[in-house]
Chain A
Amino acid sequence: METQRDEFLSEEDLDLRDLSEAELIAYWNLWLKQAQASNELDEKTYSHGVFETAPD
């Protein structure tokens, strides 16, 4: 019988483990390139640190 498991991230995310080093970097770079589409939306926000938004 298959045991149920709590899932946190998608299979696609976790598939990163199966990539070679070069594939991981290539996919990472591709992701970064495509993620530029949201640059305008997050122009003033912060991902890290103690600041949440840049002042107007």
Chain B
Amino acid sequence: MPQTRRGLSSPFVGNIYLELTEQFNAGRLRAIISSGQAVVLHRLAIMSKDGDWILWEDVETMSHILDVLAKSGAHYRFGAPLDVRWMAGGWSAHFEFRTGSLRIRTDFVTRPPRLDDASLAELWKLDPKKPVLGLTALAEIKKTNREKDYAVIGELARLMKSPREQLLYSRSARDLLALTQAHPELASELSDQRPLLRETVAGQARLEEALDAERRTLIHANEQRLARYREASKAWATAWSGVEKEIGNLSLAAAHEIVVARALALLPFAP
């Protein structure tokens, strides 16, 4: 971790993730910054080295992203091919390259977890000049199996403007008690969607227990989701070292052709 951030000079400097995003979106919006780097851009915390984007699911987007990555000298990591047939099944594609002293990893999905079709369609209405995942979608994506992500959701909820969103995402018993006191009818309306809101009448201690239980339920749900993908990718994982040797010295475009050809036989389009 940096020793200090005070006293940093402020000349204009670029950032690799912002530069990549600009290149991904040259001509039209194709990529939305998600997860850890979106948390940075919402100015909450810096906690991830790797870049994660949600892509528009079409052939031109996949081809354009591969072109940008090829120019950066990227190579495939173990993962799904960057191809709409696998992306539509919720798989993720992963690449890596070096720039200066940095190892840069770029991760892509088109069907992020826990976002239904309507929420996904809504993402693409954002300002193309600010292609950063919004607060509620980011909070959904952060419902992972990592404890630290629930701290992020807690702070994201405090940035949300509407009491409805705050009631649905807050991780603070104190905040929820204040919100239900201020908006009792709304809290009652939302309690089917978030059952722990019913626990506010039982007081802070009971609500804190409910928040802990809710977090554990969400963590287990994500573990089960990942287990389905792990099971479906067993044959692909076994074959990967051979595929990696095959593509080792190839350009990314040529490597991509081989990854697709091998994956067709070993990795189902959907788990």
Among B50, B109, B230, residue most surrounded by chain A Cβ atoms (within 10 Å): B50
Q: Which of B8, B155, B174 contacts A9 (CB 8 A)?
A: B155
Closest to A5 in B: B174
Q: Produce 1/0 per residue, B42-83, CB < 8 A to A.
A: 011110111010000000000000000000000001110000
Q: Is there a chain B Cβ closer than 8 Å to A35's Cβ?
A: yes
Q: Which of A5, A16, A47 contacts B40 (CB 8 A)?
A: A16
- A interface size (C-beta, 8 A): 41
Interface size class of chain B, counting residues whose CB lies under 8 Å from the partner chain? 35 or more
Q: Which of A9, A26, A29, A36 contacts B152 (CB 8 A)?
A: A9
Q: Is there a chain B Cβ closer than 8 Å to A50's Cβ?
A: yes
Q: Which of B5, B10, B91 contacts A50 (CB 8 A)?
A: B91
Q: Produce 1/0 per residue, A1-39, CB < 8 A to B.
A: 000111011001111110110111111111111111011
Q: Do A26 and B79 touch (CB < 8 A)?
A: no
Cα separation A23 to B241 with both chains bound (whole Å): 42
Chain B residues with CB under 8 Å of A50's CB are 90-92, 109, 225-226, 229, 233, 271
Q: Do B44 and A9 touch (CB < 8 A)?
A: yes
Q: Do B10 and A26 touch (CB < 8 A)?
A: yes
The total number of A-B Cβ pairs within 8 Å is: 141
Cα separation A54 to B94 with both chains bound (whole Å): 11
Q: Do A8 and B13 touch (CB < 8 A)?
A: no
Q: Which of B80-122 contact A (CB under 8 A)?
A: 90-94, 101-103, 105, 107-109
Q: Do A39 and B103 touch (CB < 8 A)?
A: yes
Chain A residues with CB under 8 Å of B27's CB are none
Q: Do A6 and B105 touch (CB < 8 A)?
A: no
Cα separation A46 to B77 with both chains bound (whole Å): 10
Q: Which of B1-49 contact A (CB under 8 A)?
A: 1-2, 5, 8-16, 18, 34-36, 40, 43-46, 48-49
Q: Do B52 and A48 touch (CB < 8 A)?
A: yes
Q: Do B151 and A8 touch (CB < 8 A)?
A: yes
Q: Which of A19, A20, A32, A51 contacts B49 (CB 8 A)?
A: A32
Closest to B156 in A: A8
Cα separation A25 to B50 with both chains bound (whole Å): 15
Chain A residues with CB under 8 Å of B233's CB are 50-51
